[in-house]
Amino acid sequence: MEEINPQKACGFLRLPGEIRNLIYALALTSSHTITDASPLPKDSGTHEVSVHHSLPPLSTPLLRSCRLIAQEAPLRLLYASNTFRFTSPTNAHKFAASLPPELSSRIQDVELDMRNTGSREEQYPAWTWYTSWQRGFWVEQFGSLSLDFPGLKVLRLNFNAWPRIPVAGRHLWDILRRLLMNVDGLERIILTGASEGSSPEKEPWSPAHFIGVEDVAFADDLVDKMWQTVQKVQRHADDGIIRWSRSNSKVYLEVSSTMYLRRTIETRFNRPVYLERSGDWPESGYCSFTDYRNQKEASL
How many C-beta neighbours within 10 Å does residue 230 have?
Answer: 26
Buried b (16+ CB within 10 A) or exposed e, 12-35: eeeeeeeebeeebeebbbbeebbb
Please report, for the domain that includes residue 126, its CATH number: 3.40.50
Comparing 70-74, 140-144, 220-224, the range with the smallest average pLDDT is 140-144
Residue 59 belongs to some domain of the structure: no
Total domains present in the chain: 2
Domain that holds residue 68: 1-32+64-74
Domain boundary residue among 11, 46, 74? Answer: 74
* Residue 166, CA distances (Å) to 129, 149, 271 in order: 21, 31, 42
How far apart are alpha carbons 160 and 88 in whole angstroms? 15
pLDDT, position 57: 87
Question: Is there a single domain that holds both residue 135 and residue 217?
Answer: yes
Query: In the listed set 74, 95, 127, which residue is the last one of a domain according to the structure?
Result: 74
Please report whether residue 49 resides in a domain: no
Neighbouring CB atoms inside 10 A of 231's CB total 18
pLDDT for residue 129: 87
Instruction: Tell whether 159 and 19 lie within a shared domain.
Output: no
Quick check: is 290 in a domain?
Answer: yes
Tell whether 15 and 161 lie within a shared domain: no
Q: Tell me: do 23 and 144 sit in the same domain.
A: no
Same domain, 236 and 179: yes
Buried-exposed string 258-275: b where 16+ CB fall within 10 A, e elsewhere: bbbbeeeeeeeeeebebe
Same domain for 228 and 199: yes
What are the backbone angles phi and psi of residue 200, rounded to the nearest 5°? -65, -15
Residue 157: how many CB atoms within 10 A of its CB?
Answer: 23
Helix (H) or strand (E) holding 192: strand 188-193
User: Does 40 reside within a domain?
Assistant: no
Considering the domain architecture, whether residues 18 and 116 belong to the same structural domain is answered as no
Residue 54 falls inside a structural domain: no
Rg (CA), the chain: 21
The reported pLDDT for the residue numbered 100 is 93
Question: Are 186 and 255 a contacting pair, CB within 8 Å?
Answer: no
Q: Count of alpha carbons within 13 Å of 14, Cβ hemisphere only?
A: 4
Q: Are residues 9 and 151 in the same domain?
A: no
Paired residues of 247 in beta bridges: 250
Beta bridge partners of 253: 191, 244
Residues 69 and 105 in one domain: no
pLDDT of 34 > 60? The answer is yes
Q: Band the pLDDT of 233: cuts 50, 70, 90.
A: low
Structural domain contains residue 270: yes
Residues 242, 137 share a domain: yes
Same domain for 17 and 100, yes or no, is no
pLDDT for residue 113 is more than 90: yes
Please state whether beta strands 240-247 and 188-193 pair in parallel, antiparallel, or not at all (unpaired).
unpaired
Instruction: Let me know whether 70 and 97 are in one domain.
Output: no
The reported pTM is 0.86
